Amino acid sequence: MNVELIAHTRIANNFMENTIAGMSEGQMVAFTAIRTCYSANKPTEILKKEGEKYVWKEATDGEGGTDADRLFRHIVRSGHTSTLEHITFTFAIEGISRACLAQLTRHRVGFSYSVQSQRYVKFGSDDKSGGFDHVMPQSVKKNPVAVAAYAFAMGVIQQTYNELREEGVPAEDARMVLPNAATCNLVMTANLRALLDFYSKRRKGRGAQWEIADLAEKLREEVIAVEPWTERFFKEA
């Protein structure tokens, strides 16, 4: 499995003059959304008129950081997280199983998916793909007999797919024999609120299957690499 961040919310060029030192671009977007709900100022005025006051004032909740940090903590804990939906992240996700994909795409609100097609991408051994790749669970890998049985099954499925295609069966029908273990690639976009909710349900220790739990962790790592202030909210999720 490989997960890489392709893009995330940035401040528009014509708005850069309003940026506040000490806030990431994601924080500035969230701050603008949050304060719009409670301020008489217009959204285009909020960073310029209110931002520095929150950045340079110490937090009043006793948890450290700036008053902006306090504001973000308050918003998350009070459940006013619709303001975090304005921060989005687009990921390349490569090499997850179709089983994992089925679990992932149950999360619909705040998520968009573009998935590699088994209809238009052909998975014969002689096709450009070179055949289908597959995920092998750790429970199989630690047992040599299970590994052999699993590998044999994948080989039989590949051969069956090849034979169906050779007999003129279209890829959209031949794909029916491909296993849940077959890998796929996708592009996924999600907002911060949706990602926090996803992580709270799919993180390790919450009963999620290992593969989607690993995916949840990789997504978290990609987000906090560009928006470090979100790390505590993933921990609290």
- Which ranges constitute the DSSP H helices of the chain? 25-38, 43-46, 52-56, 67-78, 98-104, 138-141, 144-166, 171-174, 192-202, 210-226, 231-236
- Measured between its terminal Cα atoms, the distance across the chain in Å is 23
Active site residue 202: yes
Concatenating the DSSP letter of every residue in 131-170 gives S--B---HHHHT-HHHHHHHHHHHHHHHHHHHHHHHTT--
According to DSSP, the residues that pair with 134 across neighbouring strands are 182
List 113's β-bridge partners, or say none: 188
- Rounded to whole angstroms, the maximal C-alpha distance in the chain is 72
Q: What count of other Cβ atoms lies within 10 Å of the Cβ of residue 177?
A: 15
* Alpha-carbon span 199 to 235, nearest angstrom: 9
Quote the DSSP letter at residue 179.
-
**Catalytic residue, candidates 193, 202, 203, 220:** 202
| Number of residues written out for the chain | 237
Known catalytic residues are 202
